[in-house]
Structures are given as structure tokens and as C-alpha cells.
Copies of this chain bind each other. A is one copy, B any other.
Amino acid sequence: MCDTKLMTQRDLANPTPSVTDGRPADLRAEAFQGVRDARSRELAEDYVELIAELIHDHGEARPVEIAARLGVRPPTVTKALDRLAREGLITRAKYRSVFLTDEGRALARECRRRHEIVLRFLLSLGLDAETAERDAEGIEHHVSERTLALFAAYASKS
């Protein structure tokens, strides 16, 4: 999925110009690369996290409910679930509800952990619950383990 031959040609061709403000092009490019990678994982993470939540709360995860929670249409969910199944994160049978594989469950746990750390951190900064929830949803996929540790430390300190 991740293409490792991306940078090679450019690296040879580019003697790295302009380090104008202590932010070398390389680092920026790397950061953007990271963001793009995160973006490609985001959807899968959102689905898996939500599926785990639905199974926990309702005993099962049904496409119609997933669609409602994510605010998308059922066919969008069908396609996304196909992809998740292809990637080994869920199992499912036509017209039936969805189950997580071990791998899916592990990813869900990880996502939930990140989500809660970010959320608690934002709340401990003094943010209102609704904005905190909204921002946490966006931020959680883009926070490094190192930042997460600082967030957790701050939240527990206050």
C-alpha cells in the first residue's frame, strides 16, 4: 500500500535548496507524507472504532446503524465494509451484521485509547464537551505517540 520508491528520484535530483527558516524541505515533505498516510488510515480507524462501540453497546453492528452514526448513506458503508473485510479487519456475511477480527479488535482498542486521551486532554484544557468531541475526532488520527504521552501526562496532572 505504501509506496517506498516515491522519494528516490527526487532525492537524487534535489540538492535541497532553501533551508530558509529552519524547516528543511525534507522535513516538510516527510510531514506531508505522514499526513497522507494518516488520511488513508483514518476511515478504516473510524469504522473499526465505531463497530467496536456498537457491538459493545448493542451486541451487534449493523450497516444501517453505522451509516447513521457516520452520517453517510448505506451504499457508502457497504463499500467501506468490503474494503475492511479485504484488509482483514472485519468479517461479514451478506445482509448480516459485522464482526471484528482479532486484528480489527486490536486496532479498535488502539483507536479508542487515542481518542480518549485526546478527549480527556481537551477537556482538561477547559474545552466544552461538544467542541472537545468534535475536535478529538479530527485530531486523534494525527497525534504521535510522543504527543499522546504529553497529553496524557497533562490531563492526569490537572
- CB proximity of A125 to chain B, nearest CB, Å: 5
Contact of A138 among B6, B8, B18, B35 (CB under 8 A): B35
- CB proximity of A44 to chain B, nearest CB, Å: 14
- CB proximity of A139 to chain B, nearest CB, Å: 5
A38 at the interface (CB under 8 A from B): yes
Write the chain B residue with the least CB distance to A27: B133
A70 at the interface (CB under 8 A from B): yes
- CB proximity of A21 to chain B, nearest CB, Å: 7
Contact of A135 among B25, B70, B119, B143 (CB under 8 A): B143
- Can you list 21 A-B pairs, Cβ within 8 angstroms, ordered by A? A7-B71, A8-B115, A10-B67, A19-B58, A23-B133, A25-B69, A27-B134, A28-B70, A28-B71, A29-B69, A30-B134, A31-B134, A38-B138, A122-B147, A125-B150, A125-B151, A126-B150, A127-B146, A134-B144, A135-B147, A138-B143
Residues of A with Cβ closer than 8 Å to B?
A: 1, 4, 6-11, 14-21, 23, 25, 27-35, 38-39, 42, 46, 50, 53, 56-58, 65, 67-72, 115-116, 119, 122, 125-139, 141-144, 146-147, 150-151, 154
